[in-house]
């Protein structure tokens, strides 16, 4: 803060705030350098305050409440569907791995036995012997479809 340079600075500040000028004070502010600075700076600050008041309009309380409720619902939905998403991913992964195992196992058998009939016979035997694998894949597919139903139900 600078020291007061003119005896009438306080009067000029009050006049700038209230916009009530006496002719003598206005004449003094025009000729005094310190008071002219106060008038210029006060005018700028008042103008900025008016602009800020125009720009700073708060949204309605109902809009804020609606946004808060929407954000809470979205967060709850995300939190609730996280386990479903994880299990859906795991079921797809397990089904893919089971299918891959089935294809690799049949490819190994095809390489060992050259005949198509033998290959088809091996696939039948593999299918019969891998009942547990097929049941597991079926269960995981049911979990996948159930999860998708729960996610897209609404």
Q: What do you get for the CA distance between the two ends of the chain, in Å?
A: 64
Write out the two tokens for 9.
């600075």
CA–CA separation, 84 vs 148, rounded Å?
Answer: 8
Radius of gyration, alpha carbons of the chain: 40
pTM: 0.36
Task: Render pLDDT for 85-114 as a digit per residue (tens, 0 to 9).
Answer: 888 888 888 878 877 777 776 665 555 555
Burial group, residue 76, by CB count within 10 angstroms (0-12, 13-18, 19+): exposed
Task: Render pLDDT for 14-71 as a digit per residue (tens, 0 to 9).
Answer: 888 888 888 888 888 888 888 888 888 888 888 887 777 666 677 788 999 999 999 9
Q: Are 141 and 91 in contact (CB under 8 A)?
A: yes
């Amino acid at each position: 803060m600078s020291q007061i340079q003119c005896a009438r600075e306080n009067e000029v500040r009050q006049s700038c705030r209230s916009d009530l000028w006496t002719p003598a004070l206005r004449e003094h502010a025009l000729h005094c350098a310190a008071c002219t600075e106060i008038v210029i700076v006060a005018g700028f600050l008042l103008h900025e305050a008016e602009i800020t008041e125009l720009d700073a309009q708060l949204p309605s309380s109902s809009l804020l409440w609606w946004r808060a409720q929407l954000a809470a619902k979205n967060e709850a939905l995300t939190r609730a569907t996280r386990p479903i998403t994880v299990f859906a991913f795991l079921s797809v992964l397990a089904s893919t791995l089971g299918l891959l195992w089935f294809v690799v196992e049949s490819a190994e058998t095809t390489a060992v036995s050259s005949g198509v009939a033998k290959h088809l016979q091996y696939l039948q035997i593999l299918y019969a012997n891998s009942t547990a694998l097929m049941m597991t894949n079926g269960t995981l597919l049911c979990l996948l479809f159930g999860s998708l139903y729960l996610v897209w139900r609404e």
